[in-house]
Amino acid sequence: MNCKQCGAPMKPVPDRDYFVCEYCTSFYFPEQNRDGVRALDEASQVICPVCKAFLVAGSVNGDRVLLCKNCNGILVDQSVFLMLVQYMRPEITGPEVQPQLLNPKELKRKLSCPYCGQVMDTHSYCGPGNVVIDICGPCGMVWLDYGELYKIINAPGRDRRQ
């Protein structure tokens, strides 16, 4: 990523969700997508299990994830996923998203884990949102297609903080 002010390469600020130009010191703050992910554009060697593009580093609520900039899928550690759901659901103030019926075809797909190559378990998420997720038992990684985290976070029944 190059600086829009001077064209020099921008560097990610360590442990932050933004970039700085080391030449002119301007900043760039990536915008969030619908799932709340900010693409940090740090390349990884991990391949998307859906479209086979390289994943990039991303951030959701300050937690690191991997993001496919092609299909917008998210690869996240299961413990981070559970924390995101636990902490983000009560913070949402917008309208609730009514769950849709699951498409049974989604339960039949088989994705390979980007880390270990094992076939991920595909099943309906037992929490809010009525979505299908993919989990790698050996690695503990969760694959979420674009919009699934949004549906989970915004599903009815969240405990809104006052």
* Cβ(2)–Cβ(8) below 8 Å: yes
28 within some domain:
no
24 within some domain:
no
Q: What token pair was written down for 159?
A: 């405990």
For 130-162, write each residue's pLDDT tens digit: 899 999 999 999 999 999 999 999 988 866 544
66 vs 61, 83, 146, CA distance in Å?
13, 16, 12
Give how far the C-alpha of residue 147 lies from the chain's centroid of Cα atoms, to the nearest Å.
9
116 within some domain:
yes
CA atoms within 13 A on the CB side of 32: 11
Name every residue whose Cβ is closer than 8 Å to that of residue 99 and which is 6 or more positions away in sequence: 128, 129, 130, 151, 155, 156
Domain limits for position 98: 33-153
111 within some domain:
yes
119 within some domain:
yes
For 112-130, write each residue's pLDDT tens digit: 999 999 999 999 998 888 8
